[in-house]
Amino acid sequence: MAANRATIHDLPQSLLGDVLARAPFVQRHGSLARVCRAWRQLVLSPQLLRRVEVHLQFRDPCLYDYGTDGSWVLDQEHDPAASLLCSLTFFPWLEAHAAPHVEQLTIRTRRLVFDIDDYEESLEVVARRLRDSLGRCDVLTHLTIALRQGPLHFHASDLAAAPRLRSLSLTISDLEHPDSSGLLEVDGLLALTALESLTLVGAALDLGGTSLAPKWQSWARPRGPKPHDGLPPSLTSLALDGYADFKSSVRRFLPQQLTALSSLRRLALGNVAADSPAAYIVLSRVSSLEELTLFRCSHLPTCLPQLSSLHALRLDSTPRGLAFPDEAAGALEQLAAGLQALGPLAHLTHLSLEGMPELPPTITGLTQLRALYWGAERPREPRLPAGPWTAGLQQLALSCHVAANSLAVLSAATRLECLAVFGSSSYENKDAAAELQVAAWAAKHPGLRRLAVSNGNSCERREHLDAGLAQLRLPPTLSIEQGSALLAQLQNV
């Protein structure tokens, strides 16, 4: 007689819950919930509803023949397992099942496609349902909303979980029509008394009293004069990016607020159109600042040497003129002067430089440096400078050509554990040769544990590298990966 075979249904409920929790959220509530009644009850248990993450695409059924009930539905081609999670039916589901339990909620959307005559009304329906649902999520600690369309008017004080929310991220990335619908309007932030991390990204930011440029005013909600709402003093991390019209926000709002954030350790500013390098002087009065990111900002702050508590610095296409040929000369001159000022920042441990054709000479004085990302595809100087600054390096990302030309310098980096290299955007034979040269060196470097080669999506490049690696004697302690995961990790200091 054959012995009875155990099945997955024989697992204890707690263990089965752990198994189902490893499946993506939309699969749990799509295909897995249909297996049997017990599984449906389990995926709706409190332990599996603490984290909800969905990616929706709303479409107008008048424009797309997805149904006759008048509801917007999730794009089935994008995620066929997520038929449950459809537009306006998602919010009642959230309120009925997840609201009492969800602690981490992430809602991302693709573009909202509506009949143009009802655009604003349709958008308001979605926004109202979102607001009503958030008013029922009273144990929420982390909230992320990423929309492909705006405007979004967000009233933080309406959140049921306002006193306990620790992380808030609001993003409108409407790059197709930023001048018409990318406004992010936020107020009531002081109600978030426990907030530690805040990220706001929009074509324009209106932070409770900001004076907007005229082209945005038609999208903003009318309201009477009111003082600036301010930022929660509990913040330790702040990221602001108004990628089309940040000038009004940074000049009229940000300088008044930063100095009140006595616990702020991480600050990221994107697309700041300040008048001059001296306009960032407020940063020098944030004594707790440890990490600073500037993305496509118009100037490099002259106050960098005064940031005595800074440990990590990321400069991405800053000054902004680096990306424009007619402004590059002036931007390079400003960059050289600004980076020369890095000398007093000898305590920096992490440095990320994107869009810069050369390293600052002062880098040799950064003897505490532990991680360096240099994202220049075609640098002016094809090798790293020698010096004691490499002795403490543990993580490094740079062009495969610079790495291949700097193997003698890298050999002095005895603590190096992770190395990520990348080639040019177009496949070149010399890229492959440089990658293999670096791999051969890595196989003999005793402390190296990870080598990542980011060679895009070219099958030819991958096959060429695989063939070359097969000829090398690689130690079992060295992991070689193809892809950009490590590169991205080192870029975001």
Radius of gyration of the CA atoms of the chain, in A: 26
Pairing of strands 450-454, 142-147: unpaired
Question: Contact at 8 Å (CB) between 449 and 436?
Answer: no
Identify the CA nearest to 278 among candidates 340, 334, 201, 350: 334
Q: Which residues contact 3 (CB under 8 A, 6 or more apart)?
A: none
Q: Is 434 left (phi over 0), alpha (psi -120 to 50) or beta?
A: alpha
Q: How far apart are CA 193 and CA 143, in angstroms?
A: 15
Q: Which residues contact 318 (CB under 8 A, 6 or more apart)?
A: 294, 295, 296, 297, 299, 300, 355
Identify the CA nearest to 150 among candidates 193, 129, 191, 179: 179
Question: Contact at 8 Å (CB) between 474 and 443?
Answer: yes
Predicted confidence at residue 245, as pLDDT, reads: 67
Q: Which tokens is 326 given?
A: 């007619």
Predicted confidence at residue 142, as pLDDT, reads: 98
Domain ranges for the chain, please list them: 12-48, 52-208, 259-348, 366-379+388-493
Q: How far apart are CA 35 and CA 491, in angstroms?
A: 43
Question: Contact at 8 Å (CB) between 400 and 423?
Answer: yes
Q: Which residues contact 344 (CB under 8 A, 6 or more apart)?
A: 305
Question: Contact at 8 Å (CB) between 130 and 105?
Answer: no
**Residue ranges of the chain with pLDDT lower than 50?**
1, 60-85, 115-116, 214, 216, 218-219, 224-225, 227-228
Predicted confidence at residue 130, as pLDDT, reads: 87
pTM of the model: 0.84
412-445 confidence digits (pLDDT tens): 999 999 999 988 766 566 788 888 999 999 999 9
Q: How far apart are CA 96 and CA 133, in angstroms?
A: 10
Question: Contact at 8 Å (CB) between 360 and 339?
Answer: yes
Q: How far apart are CA 172 and CA 153, in angstroms?
A: 11
227-272 confidence digits (pLDDT tens): 446 889 999 999 998 877 666 666 656 666 788 899 999 999 998 8
Question: Which DSSP helix (H) or strand (E) runs through 205?
Answer: strand 204-207
Phi and psi dihedrals of 449, rounded to 5?
-115, -30
Which residue type sits at 102?
Answer: V
Q: How far apart are CA 176 and CA 56, in angstroms?
A: 19
